Amino acid sequence: MMSFFWSNGHLGWAFFGVLVYSVLCLLAGDIVWRLTPAPFRRILAVMALVWAAGAIALVALW
């Protein structure tokens, strides 16, 4: 588990990837919220699903 967070003197790539991906999801969600007329809760739900799927994929790849 340690190698997930830390490996070979740097952050684990999967952990790093999840952090970066999370921020990008947040900013992308903001753009979607501003540009689409969809209700906020629906956007939130979809973005949460997208984030979860991506995070799981990153961890699975690791």
Partner 1 sequence: MTTFLVQVLVLVSLAVLVGIWALRFPYPTFWLRPFLPARKRWPEREIRDWLGNGHFHPGFLTFFNRDPEREPPSDLGLVAPADGLVTSAEVRDGIRYLVIALSFWDMHVQRSPAEGKIVAIEPSGDEYMDGEGRNFSFLREKHCPVQTRVVIDAPSHGRLAVRLITSLAARRIEVWPDKGDTLARGQRLGRILLGSTVVLEIPERFPICVERGQRVWAGETLVTLGAAT
Q: Do residues 57 and 28 make contact, with C-beta atoms less than 8 angstroms apart?
A: no
Q: In the numeric block, which tokens belong to residue 50?
A: 């997208």
Q: C-alpha distances in angstroms, 20 versus 7, 14, 17?
A: 17, 10, 5
Cβ 37 to partner 1 shortest distance, Å: 11
Asked if residue 28 binds partner 1 (CB under 8 A), the reply is no
Region 35-54 residues binding partner 1, contact defined as CB under 8 A: 35
Of 34 and 41, which has the nearer Cβ to partner 1?
34
Asked if residue 31 binds partner 1 (CB under 8 A), the reply is yes
